[in-house]
Structure formats: C-alpha cells, structure tokens
Structure 1
Amino acid sequence: MNGTVRTIARMKALLEHALTALQEGKTEIAERLVLEAHAALHDLVDEMLFHGEWVEEEA
C-alpha cells in the first residue's frame, strides 16, 4: 500500500509541476511531465491489478 500512496503522490507532484510549466509557457516541459504522470498511472493500475490491491465496490 505504501507504493500506491507514493505513486499517487508522485503523480500529483508531476501534474502540479506540469501546470506551473504551462502557466510559464514551457509547453515542452509540461508535456514531458504529463507523460511521466501518465506512465505512473499505468504503473499504479498494474500494481493494483496484478498484486491484488484492487478493491472493487459491489453495487
């Protein structure tokens, strides 16, 4: 679970930095940061699906 929390915190930080870069007109840097956040999201989903941490709510 610590890895999950760490990954979410990393994605949040990357997206915050990307927003700052966009506001400063640094689109290439923002794009790179968003791509890193996207990769981290894929890692998170893989971790949850393949390591049994994914909990689905029942309807």
Structure 2
Amino acid sequence: MQNPLEKSLPQTSVVGACTVTDCKFNENHECHAGSIEVRVSGNGAECGTYTPEGNTRPRP
C-alpha cells in the first residue's frame, strides 16, 4: 500500500488510434507527434496538437 503522503509518479498514456487523416502527425492511424496537448471544448476533448498536412501552425 502506498503512503498517502508520497506523491505518485506521473502517468503517461498512448494515443490508441487517430482518425484525423489530414493531420501531419497521423501515419497509418498512429500519432507520431513527440507529445500531444488535449483540450476541453464545448464538444468534449480535442487534440490541441492537430496540424493539417502542409501547415506548420496548429489549429486554434
């Protein structure tokens, strides 16, 4: 059992599958970005790292 005063180590996760085919980080439905940012919007969670192919700026 973990001591409640000890801080737990940060957890990492993996993107299971990406269906956004026009993102420059999507290769065969796998995200190849070095890291991603997930934002909460009115529609739920969205990828803040999304960048269309041929574009160097992330979408707002």
Answer with 1 or 2: which has the greater Rg. 2
Of structures 1 and 2, the one with the larger relative CO (CA 8 A, separation 6+) is: 1
**Is the strand fraction higher in 1 or 2?**
2
TM-score by length of 1: 0.19
TM-score by length of 2: 0.18
